C-alpha cells in the first residue's frame, strides 16, 4: 500500500513550506531545455536573480541543492596550488572543509567559537600574513543562528586581493544581499528556504572577474557537471547546451521570484524580521534561553537552549506527532543542547509563530516546567501588533 504523504508545519532549518502557486507552476507542461520559449523563461529568472542579489554580474541556477552551489565554487574558483581560507563558525562551514579535502585544495581554516560571528581582526591578520586567493564564508549559518559581517569581510578580501565566495542558502530573499557593493565574487543559495520553493536548484551569482578566472585557469575545473563557466554559457545569450535542465523546477523558481517581487523585497525582509522578533519575545516569556547575541542573531533561524530535564528526542517527536510541527535538532557542537526554529518564506507567518508557541507552552507544562499559560502568545502578539506587516 502506498504511504500517504503526511501534513506538516515546517518550522525547521529548511526546507520551508512551498507556496501553493509555486507548486502549481511545477505542474505546467515540460518543455525541452533547448526550446526557444524556455530560453525566455531562463532569461527572466536570470534577470530576477540579479535584482535579488543586487548585482550587474551573471546570475543563474545550478541543477542541485545549495551543496551543489558550494561544491561548484570550490571546484571552479581555486587551482590546487592556490591558498584557500575557510571561515569556520558552524556546521555548514565544516561541510566546506570536507569538500575542500576531497578536492585536494590547499586550504586552511580560521576557527571561531560556535554561536559567534567571524572576527574581522583575526581575519585581517590572517590575510596579511598569507597569500590567500579565495575566502569562503557562510552568510547565515543555520546550525548556530548567526549572521556573519559579509560587507566588512568583502572589504578585507578586496584590500588583500582575495576572491570572496559566500554561502547565501538561508539569507537569499530573507536578508539583504549586496553582491556588487560587498565585493562578492561568487554567491550561491537554495530554493527551499526564503524563496518558498521545493529543493533542487541552487540560485547563484558570479562576478565578471570570477568567470574570467575560471576561463583562464591553468587546468579546467575538476567537475564537468559543476563547471560554472559551462552552466553560465547555457544561461547566457547563446544558450549553449551543457546539461539537461530540471525544467519544472525552473518554473517553480520563476514563480517564487514573482511572488517575492509582488510582495516587495523590502517588505519580505521586514516580515522575516517582525516574525522573528515575535517568536523570540514569546520564547523568552517561556524562560527559554536564546544563546545568540541579538546583534548577530538571524531572523530566519532562532536557536533556543533545551531546558534541564527535557528529553530532546521525545520533545521534538511529540511536537511532530501531536502538533504536526517540525523543528530542527542541534548539530555538531550544539547537538543535544539546542532547538532550531525556522521562520522562512511561506512558513514565516504569524499563525505559525502562535502555533509553535502554544505547542511549546503545552509541552513545557507537561514536562513540569513552570510556565504562565498564554504568556508567550501575549508577548508575540504585542510585537506583531506594534507594526502590522504588509498583507501577505
| pLDDT tens, residue order, the chain (392 aa) | 788 888 899 999 999 999 999 999 999 999 999 999 999 999 999 999 999 999 999 999 999 999 999 999 999 999 989 999 999 999 999 999 999 999 999 999 999 999 999 999 999 999 999 999 999 999 999 999 999 999 999 999 999 999 999 999 999 999 999 999 999 999 999 999 999 999 999 999 999 999 999 999 999 999 999 999 999 999 999 999 999 999 999 999 999 999 999 999 999 999 999 999 999 999 999 999 999 999 999 999 999 999 999 999 999 999 999 999 999 999 999 999 999 999 999 999 999 999 999 999 999 999 999 899 999 999 999 999 987 555 55
Q: Supply 140's cell numbers.
A: 547565515
Backbone angles phi and psi of 201, in degrees to 5: -130, 150
Each residue of 192-205: b (16+ CB within 10 Å) or e? Answer: bbbbbbbbbbbbbb
At residue 226, the 3 state secondary structure works out as coil
Is the entire prediction scored with pTM above 0.75? yes
Q: What is the pLDDT of residue 1?
A: 73
Cβ distance 143 to 332 under 8 Å? Answer: yes
Please choose, from the candidates 114, 11, 44, 14, the residue with its C-alpha nearest in 3D space to the C-alpha of residue 354. Answer: 11
Residue 302 CA to residue 144 CA, distance in Å, equals 8
Residue 355 CA to residue 224 CA, distance in Å, equals 46
DSSP β-ladder status, 83-88 and 132-138: parallel
Q: What is the pLDDT of residue 391?
A: 56
Please report the domains of the chain, with CATH numbers, ordered by start residue.
20-262 (3.40.640.10), 264-386 (3.90.1150.10)
Cβ distance 250 to 260 under 8 Å? Answer: no
Helix or strand run (H / E) with residue 275: helix 265-285
Residue 94 CA to residue 18 CA, distance in Å, equals 28
Greatest Cα pair distance in the chain: 65
Helix then strand count (H, E) for the chain reads 13, 14
Residue 285 CA to residue 378 CA, distance in Å, equals 9
Q: Supply 206's cell numbers.
A: 558570479
DSSP β-ladder status, 58-63 and 186-188: unpaired
Residue 361 CA to residue 155 CA, distance in Å, equals 45
Residue 175 CA to residue 12 CA, distance in Å, equals 18
Residue 121 CA to residue 125 CA, distance in Å, equals 6
Cβ neighbours around 332 below 10 Å, total: 13
* Inter-axis angle of helices 350-366 and 375-386, nearest 10: 160
Residue 314 CA to residue 357 CA, distance in Å, equals 17
Residues 6+ positions from 279 with CB-CB distance below 8 Å? 302, 341, 343, 353, 356, 357, 380
Amino acid at each position: 500500500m502506498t504511504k500517504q504523504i503526511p501534513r506538516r508545519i515546517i518550522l525547521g532549518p529548511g526546507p520551508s513550506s512551498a507556496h501553493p502557486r509555486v507548486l502549481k507552476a511545477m505542474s505546467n507542461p515540460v518543455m525541452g531545455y533547448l526550446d526557444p520559449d524556455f530560453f525566455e523563461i531562463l532569461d527572466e529568472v536570470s534577470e530576477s536573480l540579479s535584482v535579488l542579489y543586487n548585482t550587474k554580474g551573471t546570475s543563474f541556477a545550478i541543477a542541485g541543492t545549495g551543496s551543489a552551489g558550494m561544491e561548484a565554487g570550490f571546484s571552479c574558483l581555486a587551482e590546487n596550488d592556490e591558498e584557500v581560507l575557510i571561515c569556520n563558525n558552524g556546521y555548514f562551514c565544516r561541510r566546506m572543509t570536507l569538500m575542500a579535502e576531497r578536492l585536494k585544495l590547499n586550504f586552511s581554516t580560521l576557527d571561531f567559537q560556535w554561536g559567534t560571528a567571524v572576527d574581522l581582526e583575526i581575519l585581517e591578520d590572517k590575510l596579511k600574513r598569507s597569500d590567500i586567493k579565495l575566502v569562503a564564508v557562510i552568510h547565515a549559518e543555520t546550525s548556530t543562528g548567526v549572521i556573519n559581517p559579509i560587507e566588512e569581510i568583502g572589504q578585507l578580501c578586496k584590500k588583500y586581493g582575495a576572491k570572496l565566495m559566500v554561502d547565501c542558502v538561508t539569507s537569499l530573499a530573507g536578508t539583504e544581499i549586496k553582491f556588487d557593493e560587498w565585493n562578492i565574487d561568487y554567491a550561491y543559495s537554495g530554493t527551499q528556504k526564503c524563496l518558498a520553493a521545493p529543493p533542487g536548484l541552487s540560485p547563484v551569482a558570479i562576478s565578471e572577474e570570477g568567470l574570467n578566472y575560471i576561463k583562464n585557469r591553468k587546468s579546467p575545473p575538476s567537475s564537468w557537471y559543476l563547471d560554472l563557466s559551462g552552466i553560465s554559457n547555457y544561461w547566457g545569450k547563446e544558450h549553449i547546451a551543457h546539461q539537461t535542465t530540471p525544467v519544472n523546477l525552473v518554473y517553480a523558481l520563476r514563480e517564487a521570484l514573482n511572488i517575492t517581487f509582488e510582495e516587495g523585497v523590502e517588505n519580505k525582509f521586514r516580515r522575516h524580521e517582525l516574525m522573528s522578533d515575535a517568536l523570540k519575545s514569546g520564547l523568552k516569556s517561556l524562560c527559554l534561553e536564546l544563546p545568540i547575541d541579538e546583534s548577530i542573531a538571524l531572523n530566519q533561524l532562532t536557536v533556543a537552549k533545551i531546558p534541564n530535564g527535557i528529553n530532546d528526542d521525545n520533545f521534538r517527536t511529540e511536537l511532530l506527532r501531536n502538533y504536526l510541527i517540525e523543528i530542527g535538532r542541534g548539530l555538531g557542537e550544539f547537538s543535544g543542547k539546542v532547538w532550531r526554529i525556522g521562520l522562512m518564506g511561506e512558513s514565516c507567518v504569524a499563525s505559525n509563530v502562535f502555533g509553535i508557541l502554544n505547542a511549546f507552552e503545552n509541552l513545557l507544562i507537561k514536562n513540569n516546567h513552570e510556565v504562565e499559560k498564554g504568556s508567550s502568545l501575549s508577548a508575540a502578539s504585542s510585537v506583531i501588533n506594534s507594526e502590522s506587516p504588509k498583507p501577505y
